[in-house]
Amino acid sequence: MSKVAKATQASLVGNLNPVPGVKKVDPILIADGVTKRYGGLQAIDVAHVEIPRNAIVALIGPNGAGKTTLFNILTGFETADSGSWSYDGKALNGKAPHLLPKLGMVRTFQLTKVLGLLTVMENMKLAALKQTGERLLASFFPFLWSRQDRALELEATDILRRFKLLEKQADFAAGLSGGQRKLLEMARALMTHPKLIMLDEPMAGVNPALTESLLDHIKNLKQEGMTVLFVEHDVAMVREISDWVIVMAEGKIVAEGLPDQVLKDPAVIDAYLGSHQDSDLGLATGRITLPTGTKSTRSGK
């Protein structure tokens, strides 16, 4: 392991031999004994997991591993059969989803939830918290909220410019491409000034031309002091941007650690790739392709 990798791991977990559920130096999100069954199927059985603060953490695993279900439970969109979880020291059990952004925790969805009949700018401004104009009585008196509204529009303009969506600000969100909707959903989340942002498959359905832009934005979130927890199937993307990787299979946490450590773990390869285990991890997802005539160093094909 390189000196940089050792320093990164030590700063996150304080030791060089992480196991599933390892305690972190400064966790922002902690879950204990979280279970969920659907009839006879045990969808989630997470004994303990911690998400380190100010890091980019990837949650990976095969289809049906329980990643999105765990996301939904932690953010209040589904109820667990048992367990407890907390964010920044505050218990989240029973918290309604709309209350979490007020605590500094926000998420996006695999299938984007933009408001199609509102403009891009309206989507952005709607996400902002503690708006005076949202109070019934105050809404009748523009002088009470117009200054705040102008400030929010300036903030939204700055974010849209960074996400290269400013020229779309007056367009209805329904007219955006799939990739642009992903960008809008991430940009809109920033209007809540989150400490933790959870991204459910941010690259799913995104045109490859926008992939690099999304990756840069995710990296920038960390640079701005946020913690990022994201679900992703593309291992090459995970390796490129993650500080820490957590692997789920059959509802359990089966491994975690630095990207290069975890992605070489035989148990992870078997659980995650199955029949692709003899292929290069960066190629097996299908998003990364080799130039014509180039051979994979692992598969020899």
pLDDT at res. 4: 67
Domain with 171 in it: 115-175
Q: Is residue 300 part of a domain?
A: no
Q: Could you count the other beta carbons within 10 Å of the beta carbon of residue 119?
A: 16
Asked whether residue 190 falls in the same domain as residue 251, the answer is yes
Residue 250 forms part of a structural domain = yes
> pLDDT digit of tens for each residue in the chain (301 aa)?
666 676 777 788 876 677 889 999 999 999 999 999 999 899 999 999 999 999 999 999 888 899 999 999 999 999 999 999 999 999 999 899 999 999 999 999 888 888 899 999 999 999 998 888 888 887 888 888 889 889 999 999 999 999 999 999 999 999 998 888 989 998 999 999 999 999 998 887 777 777 778 888 899 999 999 999 999 888 888 888 999 999 999 999 999 999 988 888 887 777 665 534 444 444 433 433 444 554 444 444 4
Beta carbons of 110 and 204 less than 8 angstroms apart: yes
Shared domain check, 99 and 136: no
Return the pLDDT at 129: 87
Same domain, 83 and 169: no
As given in the structure block, the two tokens for residue 117 are 């009949």
**31 vs 107, 148, 252, 296, 298, CA distance in Å?**
17, 37, 12, 39, 37
Q: Is residue 286 one of the residues assigned to a domain?
A: no
Is there a single domain that holds both residue 95 and residue 220?
A: yes
Q: Is residue 295 part of a domain?
A: no
For residue 287, the model assigns a pLDDT of 39
Task: Count the domains in the chain.
Answer: 2
Whether residues 169 and 180 share a domain: the answer is: no
Is 297 inside a domain boundary? no
**Residues 225 and 99 grouped into a single domain:** yes
Q: Are residues 146 and 253 in the same domain?
A: no
Give the pLDDT score at 136. 85
Q: From residue 275, how far is each of 70, 87, 102, 270, 285 by CA, in Å?
A: 26, 37, 44, 8, 12
Residue 164 covered by a domain: yes
* Residue 217 token pair: 């934005």
DSSP 8-state symbol, 277: T
